[in-house]
């Protein structure tokens, strides 16, 4: 479990994270949602230790990583997999070399063992036989899957994904969401996804944290989110008339009445 407690972060006189406390549940797909500029990325960067909060704690299984000694922090970093927004693959390296990179950096495994592990994770993301291809030769969805394979190659306990669906069509987005969710369950990973994709929210959001103007405004599951009476959250999730209508219908049905025509 990852827990953040009373986090606060300002840039100059601009407060961008305001006393945020939240829990990222173990073995679950946790989502951070909110409009652009609400503080999602800053919150995620603080959680992975790429940014230091002005005040507050980030606890990994109870251990605070803020102000942690570099040696101990390094150990936790090896348990973290990250999927960046633009996939962030090395263009001059093959798929295999890209996925092998963390193994080269953090392990002393033999080349044969590393190859075996890379082939294993590439197969898990349904990319058998793509080892020798270059990023320029594969589609955006495949690049995301390579990046996901790289993120899980060290068997992480924690997986952070920043906008995993950016730049993908809705169908390919679903494939990526499904894969992340399956992998989270299969390997019992604590996954944190930063997103404003409502499909992801409804399909994958075991636990959701809604950020609004630097504040945590709501926290709950995808079963609860559609029934929230928080006006800001409703404006965010039901941005279209179509979705507003769908909500009205499902609330009427939940009350056991048949929807009005």
Ligand X SMILES: Nc1ncnc2c1ncn2[C@@H]1O[C@H](COP(=O)(O)OP(=O)(O)OP(=O)(O)O)[C@@H](O)[C@H]1O
Binding site for ligand X (CB under 6 A): 11, 16, 34, 36-42
C-beta of 16 vs 66, nearer to ligand X? 16
C-beta of 34 vs 81, nearer to ligand X? 34
C-beta of 20 vs 99, nearer to ligand X? 20
Give CA angle at 217 (211, 222), nearest 5°: 80
What is the smallest separation between the CB atom of 6 and ligand X, expressed in angstroms? 18
DSSP secondary structure, 157-185, as one string: SEEEEESTTTT--HHHHHHHHHHHHHHHH
Q: How far apart are CA 89 and CA 145, in angstroms?
A: 11
C-beta of 40 vs 145, nearer to ligand X? 40
What is the smallest separation between the CB atom of 237 and ligand X, expressed in angstroms? 15
C-beta of 40 vs 124, nearer to ligand X? 40
What is the smallest separation between the CB atom of 12 and ligand X, expressed in angstroms? 7
User: Which candidate, 85, 222, 19, 63, places its Cα nearest to that of 157?
Assistant: 63
What is the smallest separation between the CB atom of 216 and ligand X, expressed in angstroms? 12
Q: Rounded to whole angstroms, what are the CA distances from 162 to 86, 132, 199, 242, 255?
A: 9, 27, 15, 27, 37
What is the smallest separation between the CB atom of 34 and ligand X, expressed in angstroms? 5
Q: Rounded to whole angstroms, what are the CA distances from 219 to 44, 80, 195, 198, 213?
A: 16, 23, 15, 15, 15
For residue 130, give both structure tokens.
């793509």
């Amino acid at each position: 479990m990852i827990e953040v407690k009373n986090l606060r972060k300002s840039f100059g006189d601009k407060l961008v994270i305001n006393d945020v406390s939240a829990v990222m549940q173990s073995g679950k797909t946790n989502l951070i949602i909110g409009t652009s500029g609400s503080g999602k990325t800053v919150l995620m960067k603080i959680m992975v230790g790429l940014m230091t909060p002005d005040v507050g704690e980030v606890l990994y299984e109870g251990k605070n990583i803020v102000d942690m000694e570099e040696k101990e922090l390094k150990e936790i970093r090896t348990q973290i997999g990250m999927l960046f927004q633009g996939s962030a693959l090395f263009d001059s390296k093959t798929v295999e070399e890209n996925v092998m990179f963390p193994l080269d950096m953090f392990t002393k495994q033999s080349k044969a063992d590393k190859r075996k592990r890379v082939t294993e994770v590439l197969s898990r993301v349904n990319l058998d036989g793509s080892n020798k291809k270059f990023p320029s030769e594969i589609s955006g969805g495949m690049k995301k899957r390579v990046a996901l394979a790289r993120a899980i190659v060290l068997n992480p306990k924690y997986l952070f994904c920043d906008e995993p669906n950016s730049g993908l069509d809705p169908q390919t987005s679903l494939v990526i969401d499904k894969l992340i969710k399956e992998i989270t369950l299969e390997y019992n990973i604590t996954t944190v996804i930063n997103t404003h994709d409502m499909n992801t929210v409804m399909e994958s959001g075991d636990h959701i944290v809604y950020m609004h103007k630097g504040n945590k405004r709501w926290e709950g599951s995808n079963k609860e989110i559609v029934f929230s009476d928080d006006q800001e959250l409703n404006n965010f999730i039901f941005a279209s008339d179509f979705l507003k209508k769908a909500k009205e219908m499902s609330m009427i049905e939940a009350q056991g009445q048949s929807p009005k025509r």
